Structure 1
Amino acid sequence: MRAVLLAGVAAFALTACDEPGPVQRGANPELPQPQRGLLPNMTIPRPAAWGNELPTVPQGFRIQAIATDLQIPRQTLVLPNGDILVTEGTGSAAPPLRPKDFIAGIIKSWGKTSVPGGNRLTLLRDADGDGTYELRQVFAENLNAPYGLALVDGGLYVANQDALVRFDYVDGQTEVSGPPRTVALLPSAINHHWTKAMTASEDGRFLYVGIGSNSNITERGMAAEEDRAMIWQIDVATGAHRQYATGLRNPTALTIQPGAGQLWAVVNERDEIGPDLVPDYLTSVQEGGFYGWPYAYWGQNVDVRAQPQNPELVAASIRPDYALGAHVAALGVDFSSPVMGAEFAEGVFVGEHGSWNRSVPSGYKVVFVPFRDGRPSGEPVDFATGFLNAEGNARGRPVGVTVDPRGALIVADDLSNIVWRISRDPAQSAAASP
């Protein structure tokens, strides 16, 4: 009770400086001046049941829960035969470093499920293609906070919080045939950010793994950030890795642009300098590029908290392609395809898990960022909303998003422990036909 009261007092103390600010989306977000205080305003929607309601999707689409009562679903992978693999689990939490870390941990816990993480992969199968997944099977268990998934040449790769592992995979199998083989160890000490996002290059030669920072803004010292806040490129054949891009505070989801082979990421930016700083972002990732953390944000805006400063790296900081908004906590990204219909044919879907440190919540939805000529173009479009109810409580929190080539978007929801499927509504399509 004492901790709860302390959190409430601290949040109240800073409410006056946490007024709603500019909408920050697109290539040129408006960046206000930094605001610093004892604590940010930590307002997080409390969990609420869906009841008979569903998320809201655009006209012409329908949404259905294809799996319920999961154990913290995070990311999904659509296999060649149409089966869906779901990673379930949660990683270790870094020990509190400061009193406000302890308080923040309490506040964040209010917005999470009480279900323990499964540390497993679950397979879903819709054998007849009618949208109902009649088979649900534990595919692999006894994993360590699995998150990223990739399938390359008969190998199913799983990014646990501590290691990249490989299972042999044969199309159609419903469970693993043996123990995994470790391909590469991943940084896991402290694990302030534990998720290990992953995607494979178009030619299957490399895996890209996103590794988040071990702090908000280096409060544990730079030694704790070795091999952190970056994307690794891992050779599939040898397991050898190298730093592909750095200065990315927490790259939480990765995807490859079809045809172009370009790596893209969504990144969760730093906290504690105001409700409208810093915008989380979607960006193409340049080989050898540096994206600012911890010394700068959104290009070359200096963060004075990072000491000692590094002017050379500030000058080299790459400006991201597209702002998603401050603290939306983007945790999923995937490129669309024509199967999603003309209006959603070119662009990316982004799962926004939602803020915990704004008086007015941001995120808590799935958006579509339209592309033109291979680049983001225009305002994001709400694709799945209603995760916040009318009272401001959270019925769900989107994480991974995956486009199913059969014509659907698969969304993992780690608060309601549901996997959603959003597809074209045949009844509405027929009604619209001449």
Structure 2
Amino acid sequence: MKTGLNTALFLAVACLTMPAGAQDYPQPPGNLEKLQQFKTTGDVTEIPVVPQSGPKAAAITKTLSRIKLPQGFKIALYAIVPDARHMAVGPQGVAVFVGTRKTKVYAVTDRDKDRVADEVKVFAPTINFSVPNGVCFSKDGFLFVVEQNRVLTFPAAEFFYEGADVAAFQVAKGGELIPKEEESYNHTARVCRVGPDDKLYIALGQPFNVPASDKLDLYRKWGIGGIVRMDRDGKNREVYAWGVRNSVGMDFNPKDKALWFTDNQVDGMGDDVPPGELNRAEKPGLNFGFPYYGGGKIRTVEYKDQQAPADAVSPQVEYDAHAADLGMTFYSGSQFPAKYRGGIFAAEHGSWNRTKPIGARIMFTSLKPDGTADKTEVFAEGWLTSDGEYLGRPVDVAVLADGSLLVSDDFAGAVYRISYGQ
């Protein structure tokens, strides 16, 4: 792969063919248009840096001393990142980009490669983001940021991120990812992946606990309550998977190219039902049963008298109810013992409406030779005390180039690093 300035210029010029269009997100006048033309905005002259030491770092380190891991593993603070949600590790190993459910994306840099961040600062501060939770990279270095209702791409993000003005292009203009009238304050955190087919996959949570039946046709058309895929320029959009309540984590198995995703299931049915889900979509067009099923094979009250789809796909793994299973990744590194290689790590954010809280931990699922799920176990826990107090709430997991595992936490505002034998 080309590196340095040549890569940046090559990728940037390639992006000039992407549609520009006008955006209807609130934006400093003309900023996105200027960035698409590689012009400066002049809006930001200095990017604030997030402090990485002091009382906050000490308090987080104290919490991490409570975390239980399998023998030989250890966990440490990698970076203080406010509201840290989903992560995208740059393919050149320059930076990790971290989304939030607020208005900022952060760039995290470990310059001396001691596996602790040296610098955390706002990425592309001259762009106004709205719930930029989903971040993902293509293999050739394009960063995609999926907001509540817009998708942007940044060519050579690892090169341009140092400055306030970053070349940016629209994949889906503001108000075109979903119909504007379907925008909601609920289930707005999107996630994305660039698949083995070089297409962009986006999970679109539907806004209700259980939607009314008169919404289903519209939602199926748009892939709301499902996963959509499209070309990297936004063309040829299609619904890849349907019958999904609110997926906030997905990844492709490098071995068989199957798409796996977590799904948060129906609230208000009791402490122990329905289960959370880890699903496998080995081909397009599969139906995963929602809203007829609230999770697993538990029927929803609202649809219990209606005929459930005969082809509904059951989950590969049924997690504990209401643990809020979010980000997931296949472990592609070699630092961890053989048991973990090729398996799935998933983050549980923790319950919000359960009589006895559960979650706030990292789960691990091994796979059988045929590519289906085998055993699921707790890998890391301790962010939830025996008194039901959250000291942290894991959101996402990502693998660094050295094979260690990053864990984001939006409650503590941090990213942790789990390593083995170091």
- State TM-score, norm by structure 1: 0.74
Contact kept in structure 1, 2:210 and 2:302, CA below 8 Å: yes
Show the counterpart of 1:290.
Answer: 287
Which of 351, 356, 359 does residue 360 from structure 1 map onto?
A: 356
Paired positions, count: 346
Local SS of the residue matching 2:395: strand
- Give the C-alpha shift of residue 389 in structure 1: 2.4
Show the counterpart of 1:420.
Answer: 416
Where do residues 115-154 of structure 1 align in structure 2 (5 Å cutoff)? 117=102, 119-141=103-125, 142-152=128-138, 153-154=140-141
Local SS of the residue matching 1:53: helix
- Give the C-alpha shift of residue 353 in structure 1: 0.2
Which of 402, 405, 409 does residue 405 from structure 2 map onto?
A: 409
Local SS of the residue matching 1:222: helix
- Give the C-alpha shift of residue 368 in structure 1: 0.9
Where do residues 306-321 of structure 1 align in structure 2 (5 Å cutoff)? 306=303, 310-311=306-307, 313-321=308-316
CA deviation map 1:387-429 (0-9, x unaligned): 0124321100000111113121111101010110111232xxx
CA distance in 2, matches of 1:346, 1:317: 27
Show the counterpart of 1:196.
Answer: 190
Local SS of the residue matching 1:419: strand
CA distance in 2, matches of 1:343, 1:170: 34
Q: For the aligned residues, what is the CA RMSD?
A: 2.2
- Give the C-alpha shift of residue 50 in structure 1: 4.7
Local SS of the residue matching 1:306: coil
Percent of residue pairs identical: 29
Question: Is the alpha carbon distance of 1:370 and 1:186 closer, same or farther for their aligned partners in structure 2, counting shifts above 3 Å?
Answer: same
CA distance in 1, matches of 2:407, 2:214: 36
CA distance in 1, matches of 2:275, 2:340: 24
Letter of the 1:330 counterpart: D
CA distance in 2, matches of 1:266, 1:333: 7
Letter of the 2:143 counterpart: L
Answer with 337-346 or 268-277: which moved more.
Answer: 337-346
Show the counterpart of 1:216.
Answer: 209
CA distance in 1, matches of 2:213, 2:129: 28
Question: Is the alpha carbon distance of 1:53 and 1:274 closer, same or farther for their aligned partners in structure 2, counting shifts above 3 Å?
Answer: closer
1:156 equivalent to 2:147? Answer no
Answer with 416-425 or 171-180: which moved more.
Answer: 171-180
Which of 40, 50, 68 does residue 56 from structure 1 map onto?
A: 68
Question: Is the alpha carbon distance of 1:300 and 1:359 closer, same or farther for their aligned partners in structure 2, counting shifts above 3 Å?
Answer: closer
Letter of the 2:382 counterpart: G
> Which segments of 5 or more consecutive residues in structure 1 lack a partner in the other structure?
1-48, 91-116, 427-434
Contact kept in structure 2, 1:85 and 1:121, CA below 8 Å: no
Where do residues 29-428 of structure 1 align in structure 2 (5 Å cutoff)? 50=60, 52-54=62-64, 55-68=67-80, 70-90=81-101, 117=102, 119-141=103-125, 142-152=128-138, 153-169=140-156, 171-175=158-162, 177-184=165-172, 185-187=176-178, 189-204=183-198, 206-219=199-212, 221-222=214-215, 225=219, 227=222, 228-285=224-281, 286-298=283-295, 301-306=298-303, 310-311=306-307, 313-337=308-332, 338-373=334-369, 374-378=371-375, 380-426=376-422
Question: Is the alpha carbon distance of 1:203 and 1:405 closer, same or farther for their aligned partners in structure 2, counting shifts above 3 Å?
Answer: farther
Letter of the 1:133 counterpart: A
> Which segments of 5 or more consecutive residues in structure 2 lack a partner in the other structure?
1-58
Question: Is the alpha carbon distance of 1:61 and 1:172 closer, same or farther for their aligned partners in structure 2, counting shifts above 3 Å?
Answer: farther
Letter of the 2:373 counterpart: P
Local SS of the residue matching 2:265: coil
- State TM-score, norm by structure 2: 0.76
- Give the C-alpha shift of residue 268 in structure 1: 0.4
Answer with 415-424 or 271-280: which moved more.
Answer: 271-280
CA distance in 2, matches of 1:51, 1:158: 30
CA distance in 1, matches of 2:145, 2:157: 16
Local SS of the residue matching 2:208: coil
- Give the C-alpha shift of residue 174 in structure 1: 3.2
Question: Is the alpha carbon distance of 1:424 and 1:300 closer, same or farther for their aligned partners in structure 2, counting shifts above 3 Å?
Answer: closer
